[in-house]
Amino acid sequence: MPVLIDTNIILDCLQENSQWAEWSATQMSRYSPDGLLINPMIYSELCVPEESHQTIDAVLKIFDLNYVEIPRNALFLAAKAFIQYRKRGGTITAPLPDFFIGAHAQAGGYSIMTRDKGRYSTYFPEVPLIMP
């Protein structure tokens, strides 16, 4: 089963002093390189501290991460998750990256490797999570 690799897992592997570096690297090594995925939201989050997208493209190569677009049916699911979030009292006024990542995993039949259980388990409870 393909796995969407959440931003925090990649950052763990890039930051040598991260307490989660070993766990994250070990987990990613357990999956076929063809099955390690990121999407536009994850890519964008990785770009925040960087000077150029070439740096992120190099990271994708280092970790054998495959970039995949988010299909329209997943975008629809992300919007519906955001509506649920707002009905439950959420105050942020635009859909959060986790909604796009969770919806993409649900629509594609993927797991998510993450250390951030919160929104994924609340709004996408059928998506398998790989967590510490």
Domains of the chain (ranges, CATH numbers): 3-130 (3.40.50.1010)
pTM: 0.93
Q: What is the structure's pLDDT at 17?
A: 84
Are 100 and 112 in contact, with CB atoms under 8 Å apart?
Answer: no
Report the phi/psi class of residue 71: left, alpha or beta, with left for phi > 0 and alpha for psi in -120 to 50. Answer: beta
**What CA–CA distance (Å, rounded) separates 61 from 81?**
32
The alpha carbon of 93 is separated from its chain's Cα centroid by a whole number of angstroms, namely 21
Are 102 and 121 in contact, with CB atoms under 8 Å apart?
Answer: no
How would residue 97 be classed by pLDDT, with cut points 50, 70 and 90? very high
pLDDT tens figures, 8-66? 999 999 987 889 999 999 999 998 878 999 999 999 999 999 999 999 999 999 999 99
Task: Tell me the average pLDDT across 86-92.
Answer: 94
Are 3 and 112 in contact, with CB atoms under 8 Å apart?
Answer: yes
Q: What is the structure's pLDDT at 37?
A: 97
Going 95 to 115 to 130 to 4, the CA torsion angle's sign is positive
| Mean of all residue pLDDT scores within the chain | 95
